[in-house]
Amino acid sequence: MKRTTGSSALVLGLCTLAAGVGATTALAHDRHPHQAKVALSDARTMALARAPGTIVDEELEHERGRWIYSFEIRPQGEKGRLIKEVNVDADTGVIVDVHTEND
């Protein structure tokens, strides 16, 4: 059995550490929340058809057992703090909720 020197052991340790970091990064990358069946652009079009205005925020989220696109829309002509939230099912494209809230 060959004995490793101090510098060889250091290189071997750094390689092992780098391999572990790479594996962790790959696992974190694989945690994408959900592969939606409805394209974001299509859901955005549906939401704006239901509540015309300017989208100020959008996200894909898991809510009440389903994946939804949530759009916060400032209605056309609205200068105040009024926001319409439109939720579109990310797998079926059905609008599941529309409500008004203050910004």
What confidence tens digit (pLDDT) does each residue in 23-34 have? 333 333 345 567
Q: What is the pLDDT of residue 82?
A: 93
Q: Is the pTM of this model over 0.75?
A: no
Residues 30-73 pLDDT 10s: 455 678 999 999 999 999 999 999 999 999 999 999 999 999 99
C-alpha pair distances (Å), 32 with each of 21, 26, 97: 19, 11, 24
Distance CA(79)–CA(81), nearest Å, equals 7
C-alpha pair distances (Å), 93 with each of 50, 66, 72, 74: 13, 12, 17, 21
